[in-house]
């Protein structure tokens, strides 16, 4: 296993990070098996574990806490979690990145994880309701209190990252040290600005969804039927329905990428994780297995080395900066989700005529 420094934090983390979103009710509800998977990853050299308070409503954090109960395992593991989404019930002030919610959420995460500190605390999504100065200020306080060691952001667009760094510099606040964007062979949009901006600010980058929500798992191929009533396909059938033009384009790309993998003597999933790790801005690639078998298959990608010729072939199939799909859960700016921000009041429209 290779290790890289996480941005400017000085912490060395494995090139592959164990993501735990699939541990708990949403994926694998067997706590003992999930703990065994975590231990197997640690024994294979992974020293970086990523979770979030909202994964299975806190259950994932509890499982990670069980796996790291041994003090030595906890000391040797760089532990990351996230805050933003509601946990413990809906209602006002129970989500976002305000001082009030972060102060409450971090205490709950520490309890579920059974630890005194979090190595990397990440804001899960941008929050247009909260001034970024407020968020940076409370996160800096948590560092001073020793409850977290560093903090970062997740799925932030480039302009929000730049804004956060500008505010931190202007106000003398601690800054985001990491960004966690979606990145895969089929979703390369972050190459346009997010990854270059992260490099400019010396940020560590943890990428998620290297298998493109399962589309690069090898289970979805042209000519194969897809059961839209089971598994991930049942949750987001529009992502997998082969009758839709967008999915036809993904399937066509998959067939060509399989050819690249075959020429390298590896599987499509191994090619996928190796590709994400090859970008110079990327520190660590998050692997999100549900079973031990999936973990073993994904870790084989750690030994795959992509030649320039292989990278050129990939670029010809999915050009740099191109998204063949919008990754599940990607943040949309309020300018797109709130119609009032895109439409002048009716009275003003009439006056303009």
Query: Residue 321 belongs to what domain range?
Result: 3-352
CATH number of the domain encompassing residue 25: 3.20.20.100
In this predicted structure, what is the pLDDT of residue 214? 86
183 is catalytic: no
Contact 188, 324 (CB under 8 A): no
In this predicted structure, what is the pLDDT of residue 300? 82
What distances in angstroms separate CA 65 from CA 44, 69, 77, 120, 150, one per listed residue? 19, 6, 12, 15, 19
Averaged pLDDT in 10-residue chunks for the chain of 353 residues: 95 97 94 98 97 96 98 97 90 92 98 98 96 98 98 97 98 98 97 98 97 88 77 73 86 95 95 96 96 91 90 98 84 84 77 56
CA angle 61–96–345, rounded 5-degree value: 150
* CB-CB neighbours of 294 under 10 Å: 18
Report the alpha-carbon distance of residue 279 to residue 274 in Å, rounded: 9
Predicted TM-score (pTM) of the model is 0.93
Report the alpha-carbon distance of residue 47 to residue 316 in Å, rounded: 35
Token pair in block for residue 167: 């505010």
Q: Which of 1, 6, 3, 41 is nearest to 206 (CA)?
A: 6
Scan for tokens 């972050």, then name that residue: 190
β-sheet bridge partners, residue 207: 285
Total domain count, the chain: 1
In this predicted structure, what is the pLDDT of residue 301? 78
Report the alpha-carbon distance of residue 133 to residue 173 in Å, rounded: 8
In this predicted structure, what is the pLDDT of residue 67? 98
Report the alpha-carbon distance of residue 207 to residue 282 in Å, rounded: 7
In this predicted structure, what is the pLDDT of residue 213? 86
In this predicted structure, what is the pLDDT of residue 219? 84
CA 13 from centre of chain: 16
In this predicted structure, what is the pLDDT of residue 235? 67
Scan for tokens 């994400």, then name that residue: 276
| Dihedral Cα 280, 282, 283, 288, nearest 10 deg | -150
User: Which one from 16, 55, 201, 325 is the annotated catalytic residue?
Assistant: 55
Report the alpha-carbon distance of residue 19 to residue 1 in Å, rounded: 16
């Amino acid at each position: 296993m290779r290790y890289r420094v996480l941005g400017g934090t000085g912490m060395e983390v494995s090139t592959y990070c164990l993501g735990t979103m699939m541990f708990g009710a949403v994926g694998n509800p067997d706590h003992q098996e999930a703990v065994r998977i975590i231990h197997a990853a640690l024994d294979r050299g992974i020293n970086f574990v990523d979770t979030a308070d909202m994964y299975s409503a806190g259950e994932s954090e509890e499982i990670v806490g069980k796996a790291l109960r041994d003090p030595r395992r906890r000391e040797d593991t760089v532990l990351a979690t996230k805050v933003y989404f509601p946990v413990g019930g809906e209602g006002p002030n129970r989500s976002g990145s305000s001082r009030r919610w972060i102060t409450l959420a971090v205490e709950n995460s520490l309890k579920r994880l059974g630890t005194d500190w979090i190595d990397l605390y990440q804001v899960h999504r941008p929050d247009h309701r909260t001034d970024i100065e407020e968020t940076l200020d409370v996160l800096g306080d948590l560092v001073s209190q020793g409850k977290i060691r560093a903090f970062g952001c997740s799925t932030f667009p480039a302009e929000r990252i730049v804004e956060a760094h500008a505010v931190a510099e202007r106000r003398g606040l601690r800054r985001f040290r990491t960004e966690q964007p979606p990145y895969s062979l089929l979703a390369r949009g972050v190459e346009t600005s997010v990854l270059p901006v992260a490099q400019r600010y010396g940020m560590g980058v943890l990428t998620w969804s290297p298998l493109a929500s399962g589309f690069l798992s090898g289970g979805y191929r042209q000519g194969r039927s897809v059961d839209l009533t089971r598994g991930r396909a049942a949750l987001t059938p529009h992502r997998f329905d082969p009758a839709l033009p967008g999915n036809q384009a993904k399937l066509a790309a998959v067939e060509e990428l399989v050819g690249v993998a075959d020429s390298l003597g590896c599987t499509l999933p191994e090619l996928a994780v190796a590709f994400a790790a090859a970008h110079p801005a990327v520190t660590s690639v998050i692997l999100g297995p549900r079973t031990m078998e999936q973990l073993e298959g994904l870790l084989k990608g750690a030994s795959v080395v992509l030649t320039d010729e292989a990278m050129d072939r990939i670029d010809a199939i999915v050009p740099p900066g191109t998204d063949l799909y919008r990754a599940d859960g990607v943040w949309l700016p309020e300018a797109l989700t709130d119609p009032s921000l895109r439409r002048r009041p009716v009275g003003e429209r009439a006056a303009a005529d």
